[in-house]
Amino acid sequence: MPSTEATNGIKGTNASSLKHGDEDIVIVGGSLGGLFAGVALKSHGYNTTILERTPTFLLENQGAGIVAGGDTIDFFNKYDRTGKPVAVPSFKRLYLNKKGDVIHEEVNRQNMTSWDLAYYLLRANYDRVYSDYLQGGKLPEQRPKDGKVNYRYGCTVTDIIDQRERVLVKFTRQDDSGNQVEDHLTTKLLIAADGPSSTIRSFLEPQIKRTYAGYVVIRGTVPETEASEASLSVFKERFCFFHAPGTQNLTYTIAGENGTTEPGKRLLNFVWYANFPEGSPELEKLMTDKDGRRRHITIPPGKIAWEAWEMLKSKADEILPPQMAEMAHKTKTPFVQCITDVISPKNLYMGDKVVLVGDALAGFRPHTVASTSQAAFDVMSLVKWLDGEIDRREFVKRVMEYARDVQAKGVRIGNRSQFETLEVKEYIEDRNMMSTPHKDIVFPEWTREGLDEI
């Protein structure tokens, strides 16, 4: 049976023992999920330390476009203090055929942002990092009731140990001389926000591995000013799709350099799914970077091998509409990610002292346009549990229903798109299904199976 004593905060304690206490909540992962957690908890008076494994501050203009779903927008509406718009609206959805003709269009507003813009707005809100992304906004003020914050770079977690009332978090870091040294923290609550390859999840569920789905996503951006009129006519403030056997492409407008949303200074973001069977020579060629290193999941921006990129551009000319093939030719920093599946059976571990959020709990396929929103929703639900607005049972139910449902939908619509040949109307129905607002989703009964045992 599930724990019933933790109706206000975490098991063995409560919200008041964490809020404005001497002990920090430890967050593993300093990307969007970890920053969602840090920003929300700070605003509710909790002290936090974020452990981020990258050794230095992130360079600007590194990311790609993401769809800002309803939970993401809700999060920024609730917690953002910069006043800077986080998204560019898309007012229509268009579907193209191979010739580039529009074969279907519908009014359907969505909000598009970039990873960079979301990251820097969250950093401004968390630890008041100033960047050029704040142009048009402001650096948030510190409020008396805010929790203390600590963002630590170069920290790689090596183990977590249950110590009854606390969790011991072991990690390595660089000292002032640049040497790797061992360090540790103890905490009453550890939040794992370290992505689909989560180190924390691997300690708790070592048998769970990311599995390759049989296709990759190629991403890149092109400035509006460099696109042809033919491309701008379908991509500008539009969400544009193309489907064909073994491939899918979507292209849309996102914020430009330093997060500007001014027309003419934005970017066109393309997302291209293409089948590459596991073990095939093409996949090996694609996933071997320009330095000869075989990457497992991701070829980062600027690391793709010239021969691999030439292969992709030829494939784009062969199978994509001309406007989308143009994007492939004009992007300067493409990157590639293997599509994978992973989900944990539960979100709470070690007597409720460890919680998985976002991709660390369930890696959604990008077709769901919900990965960022999942992290935002999980964090907002976590804060409600810690503050006693919902009890433990409701917290588990909300988070796990959503994770199970959307992860399964992502597998289904991804496989339909890449491995089946369907009428365009079916792809449209799949896409519209994934745009259902969170509050309107009716979760199937199977998503609740076993939750009473968590």
* Residues of each domain in the chain carrying CATH 3.30.9.60: 96-111+213-340
- How would residue 11 be classed by pLDDT, with cut points 50, 70 and 90? very low
Residue 158 is predicted with a pLDDT of: 98
Helix 32-43 vs helix 70-79: crossing angle, to nearest 10: 40
Helix then strand then coil, % of the chain, to nearest 5:
35, 25, 35
Residue 7 is predicted with a pLDDT of: 42
Mean pLDDT, range 319-334, rounded to an integer: 95
pLDDT score of 2 more than 70: no
pTM over 0.75: yes
- How would residue 68 be classed by pLDDT, with cut points 50, 70 and 90? confident
Give dist(CA 198, CA 355) in Å, integer: 12
Write the DSSP assignment of 424-439 as a string of letters. Answer: HHHHHHHHHHTTS-GG
Residue 122 is predicted with a pLDDT of: 97
Number of CB atoms found within 10 A of residue 83's CB: 11
pLDDT score of 77 more than 70: yes
Pairing of strands 102-114, 88-96: antiparallel
Q: How many helices (H) and strands (E) does the chain have?
A: 12, 19
Residue 418 is predicted with a pLDDT of: 97
**Residue 380 CA: distances (Å) to CA of 178, 235, 237:** 37, 33, 29
Which residues, in sequence order, are CB contacts of 209 under 8 Å at separation 6+? 342
- How would residue 1 be classed by pLDDT, with cut points 50, 70 and 90? very low
Residue 21 is predicted with a pLDDT of: 66
Residue 178 is predicted with a pLDDT of: 80
Percentage, residues of the chain above pLDDT 90: 78
Distance of CA 349 to the CA centre of its chain: 22
**Residue 426 CA: distances (Å) to CA of 3, 143, 183, 422, 430:** 43, 50, 53, 6, 6
Mean pLDDT, range 326-350, rounded to an integer: 96
Which residues, in sequence order, are CB contacts of 308 under 8 Å at separation 6+? 285, 286, 288, 299
pLDDT score of 3 more than 70: no
Write the DSSP assignment of 9-63 as a string of letters. Answer: SSTTS-HHHHBT-SSPEEEE--SHHHHHHHHHHHHTTB-EEEE--SSSPPPSS--
Q: Which helix (H) or strand (E) holds 341?
A: strand 335-343
Residue 4 is predicted with a pLDDT of: 37
Please give, one letter per residue, the 3-state secondary structure of 259-300: HCCCCCCCEEEEEEEEECCCCCHHHHHHCECCCCCECCCEEC
Percentage, residues of the chain above pLDDT 70: 94
Nearest alpha-carbon partner for 115 in 288, 259, 328: 259
Give dist(CA 218, CA 268) in Å, integer: 14
Residue 13 is predicted with a pLDDT of: 47
| pLDDT digits 0-9 by tens, 256-292 | 888 888 889 999 999 999 999 999 999 999 999 999 9
Range in 6-20, 371-385, 400-414 the model is least confident about: 6-20
- Beta partners for residue 309, in sequence order: none
Average pLDDT, the chain: 91
| pLDDT digits 0-9 by tens, 18-44 | 766 678 999 999 999 999 999 999 999
Give dist(CA 427, CA 418) in Å, integer: 11
Give dist(CA 32, CA 375) in Å, integer: 8
φ/ψ (deg, to 5) at 124? -60, -40
Which residues, in sequence order, are CB contacts of 415 under 8 Å at separation 6+? 213
| pLDDT digits 0-9 by tens, 344-363 | 999 999 999 999 999 999 99
The architecture CATH gives domain 96-111+213-340: 2-Layer Sandwich (3.30)
- Beta partners for residue 88, in sequence order: 112
| pLDDT digits 0-9 by tens, 122-173 | 999 999 999 999 988 999 999 999 999 999 999 999 999 999 999 999 999 9
Helix 32-43 vs helix 371-386: crossing angle, to nearest 10: 30
∠ CA 301-342-348, rounded to 5°: 115
Reduce the DSSP state of residue 390 to 3 states and report it: coil
* Residues of each domain in the chain carrying CATH 3.50.50.60: 15-64+118-210+342-453
Pairing of strands 348-349, 166-174: unpaired
pLDDT score of 319 more than 70: yes
Residue 63 is predicted with a pLDDT of: 55
**Residue 262 CA: distances (Å) to CA of 119, 136, 224, 255:** 19, 11, 11, 8
Residue 409 is predicted with a pLDDT of: 97
Higher pLDDT, 307 or 109: 307
Residue 62 is predicted with a pLDDT of: 52
Mean pLDDT, range 297-318, rounded to an integer: 95
Residue 414 is predicted with a pLDDT of: 96
pLDDT score of 179 more than 90: no
- In 136-266, which ranges are E strands? 149-152, 156-163, 166-174, 180-187, 190-192, 211-223, 238-244, 247-254
Give dist(CA 303, CA 281) in Å, integer: 19
Residue 145 is predicted with a pLDDT of: 93
Number of CB atoms found within 10 A of residue 7's CB: 15
Give dist(CA 85, CA 120) in Å, integer: 12
Residue 176 is predicted with a pLDDT of: 81
Contact in structure between 368 and 71 (CB atoms under 8 Å) = no
Q: What is the CATH number of domain 15-64+118-210+342-453?
A: 3.50.50.60
Residue 408 is predicted with a pLDDT of: 97
